[in-house]
Amino acid sequence: MFEADGLPTSTDNTSTSASLQVLASSANNGSQITVTTANSQSNCVLCLKAGNVKACTGCRSVKYCSRTCQKTDWPVHKLLCCSFKAFATDKKPSPSHVRAILFPRDSRTPCFVWVPANPENLDERDGSEFASDASFGGGSEFQNFNGSPFCAATQKLWFMFDITYPKKKDNLNRAILNLGAPGLGLPWLGPVLGCGTSDVDMRDFRAMVDFFVLHPHNKAILDPHRYFGPAVHGVRLNSESMVKAYDLPELEGVYMTKSMIKKSSRMRLDALSQLFEIPIAWHVTNDFPGAADPYKDGDPNPMSYIVSVSRQIDAIQKIDPDDSRSTKAFGDYGTIFITRLDDKPVYALHVELWHELLQWKSGEIKKACNTANPINALAKIFNKKKTLEYWPGFLMRHRLVQGELDERPSPYEV
C-alpha cells in the first residue's frame, strides 16, 4: 500500500480487462484509429508497465506500479480524483447518458459531465447543459502522441469544440492551459468536451491530458516523463512579456519531440554554427493567438543577442539573401527556442556561454561586420578551441553567482 501526505492510498484491485492500446494512423480530423484490447488493470496508468499494480483508493479507477508513479501523476490526477465517485454509473440522469469530461474556457479545472450517449450529435445542440458559452460545432478524434504504441485510454475518444471561437487571448481554454507550461501548448479556444463511446474514466482522463500536452503542434514540453520516444533537449529564451506575465526565467530548458520539430519552422543560425563549430538552430513563434506581432510591437527578448548577431552576419555574408528579415535585427523580439540540428542537447548554460562570449567581444563583432567577410575576421576569436579554454572560468563564475553546482557538460561534450 502506498502512503503519502495529501495522496489517496492504493490497494490491490483485480478488475476485468479493458482496452489499453491505441494505435494512431493519421492526425487529420475524421481519421480512423484502431482500438485493441489488453489487460489495462495490470498496467500502471503512468508508465504503462505491467506488474504488481495497486489501485488509487480515492477513485479506484487507475492503478500504479509504485509510489513514485503515483506521486508523479498526482498533480494531474488530483484534478478529478475526488469528484469521480459522484459520477458513478448508477447516478446517470438516464440510460442514454454517458460520462464525459468538460475542459471549461473560464476555469482552471476540468469537470465530469453527463452527455447524450451519441456525442456525434452534440453539434446539433446548444450546449447549455455543459456551460453558458459552450457550443460544439467541430471535433477531433483522439490520437496517441506519447511516442509508444500504448496509451492509458480504455476506448476510442474524441474532442468536441467550437471551431468558430475568435482567436483572442481571452478565449484561451484555461483548463487546458493549466495542464502544461505557459506558452508551450497548442492554443485551444473556448470550452472543449472530451468523450468516448461509453463512460470515460480516470484512465481516459490521463490519456486526454497526454493528448493536450504532447500534441505535435505544441511548441515544446517541459517534462518528458510522459513521452516514451526520443526527444531533443533545447532552451526557450522567454520574451519580456512572458517573463513578466508568468514569472518565468529568461532561459528555460525544454524538450521537443521529433513531431514538434518537424512541424516547426526551424532555421539554422549559420554564422553562430560556423564560429562555434556546432550546428545551432532557432525557432520563433508568437506567444498566443491574437497576440500583437512581437517584431512590430516590441516584445523584447533579453537573451536574443546570439540570434540577432548571427542573423546580421548571415545577411552580410549573403547566406540568406532572399530573406528580407535579415536586413534588420530580426530575432530581438518574441520568444525564441534554441536547438541543435544534430539533435544533441542544448542546455541553458550553453546559451549563457554563447551570449557572454558574444557580448564580451561586441566591439570586435561590430568591426568585423564592416568587412566583406565577418566570419573570417571573427574566426580567430570564436572557435571551438577558444570556447573550451573559456569554459572552466565561465563555469566557475556561474557557480559563484548562482550559488549552485551545475554538472552540465560543455557544448562539445554532450
pLDDT tens across 90-129, in order?
999 988 899 999 999 999 999 999 988 765 544 433 333 3
Backbone dihedral angles phi then psi of residue 65, each to the nearest 5 degrees = -90, -15
Nearest to 313 by CA among 363, 269, 280, 282: 269
Give the global pTM.
Answer: 0.79
Per-residue cell: 392: 572552466
pLDDT value, residue 402: 67
pLDDT tens across 196-220, in order?
889 999 999 999 999 999 988 888 9
Percent of residues, the chain, with pLDDT higher than 90: 34
pLDDT value, residue 143: 80
pLDDT(39) > 80: no
pLDDT value, residue 314: 80
pLDDT tens across 278-337, in order?
999 998 655 444 444 444 456 778 888 888 888 888 877 654 444 434 334 445 677 889
pLDDT tens across 137-169, in order?
455 667 888 888 888 888 888 888 877 777 777
pLDDT value, residue 206: 94
Q: Residue-wise over 222-247: b if at least 16 C-beta within 10 A, else e?
A: eebebbbeebbbbbbbbbbbbbeeee
